[in-house]
Chain A
């Protein structure tokens, strides 16, 4: 199974940008890179996903390295509500659509 590596934790100040890194050196050509986040006492929430090109949506931006072996989730202005565990996931190419392989993720703390 394709795997990802993320820092265990990161800290940010409120209203500053946050760059959450993810390494996925064994990514295959058809793997999509997904990001989910999980707030305390809630289920995971979809953030963004992409294949090759950088992606933007109302929540965040996803920057994908040219060789696709790493990516960065960018929160442009962190708020206290962004404090959560962020998961970088490669969709299992051989499995069903539902088979997201979660790691331990990065716990983001946001200081006021």
Chain B
């Protein structure tokens, strides 16, 4: 089983606040990636963690940060929230051979007001 669980499913924050989103997988895989998906767009890669260290980042500012824990659960933290941060945030894990068959969570819908 490689079910990926994200929490919370929805939340609303005010501009300038900070938010923490969480992700866990049943398989405890050592690689996790985070994506941001704006309405009507495809997901955009934020960063990846491998064995608790960031080892790849997309075009996102430093106020987007993350953590991966020894039990392979992960957090995405966003500081100084902006209205444009409103999006669906997805985590993915458990890459197969050739980078295929990643499993995505259902996502966290963040609304910044």
Interface residues of A (CB under 8 A from B): 32, 34, 41-46, 49, 51, 85, 87, 91, 95-105
Residue in A34, A43, A51, A103 whose CB lies within 8 Å of B106: A43
Instruction: Report if A45-B56 is in contact (Cβ < 8 Å); known contacts: A102-B42, A102-B43, A102-B44.
Output: no
Chain A contact residues: helix, strand, loop or mixed = loop
B101, A46: Cβ atoms under 8 Å? yes
Distance (whole angstroms) from the CB of B109 to the closest CB of chain A: 9
A97, B105: Cβ atoms under 8 Å? no
Distance (whole angstroms) from the CB of B40 to the closest CB of chain A: 8
Residue of B nearest to A85 (CB): B42
Interface residues of B (CB under 8 A from A): 4, 31-33, 35, 40-45, 48, 50, 55-56, 58, 90, 92, 95, 98-107
Distance (whole angstroms) from the CB of A66 to the closest CB of chain B: 20
Distance (whole angstroms) from the CB of A85 to the closest CB of chain B: 8
A97, B95: Cβ atoms under 8 Å? yes
Q: Hey, which chain B residues are within 8 Å of A85, CB to CB?
A: 42
Q: Hey, which chain A residues are within 8 Å of B99, CB to CB?
A: 32, 34, 49, 91, 97
Instruction: Report if A98-B43 is in contact (Cβ < 8 Å); known contacts: A32-B98, A34-B99, A91-B99.
Output: no
Distance (whole angstroms) from the CB of A41 to the closest CB of chain B: 8
Q: Hey, which chain A residues are within 8 Å of B100, CB to CB?
A: 32, 34, 46, 49
A43, B48: Cβ atoms under 8 Å? no
Residue in A45, A96, A105 whose CB lies within 8 Å of B55: A96
Distance (whole angstroms) from the CB of B18 to the closest CB of chain A: 24
Task: Tell me, in angstroms, the Cα distance from A105 to B44 when the chains sit together.
Answer: 13
Distance (whole angstroms) from the CB of B36 to the closest CB of chain A: 11
Residue of A nearest to B93 (CB): A98
6 contacts between A and B (CB under 8 A): A43-B105, A46-B100, A98-B31, A99-B33, A99-B45, A104-B40
Q: Hey, which chain B residues are within 8 Å of A44, CB to CB?
A: 43, 90, 92, 104
Residue in A34, A46, A101 whose CB lies within 8 Å of B45: A101
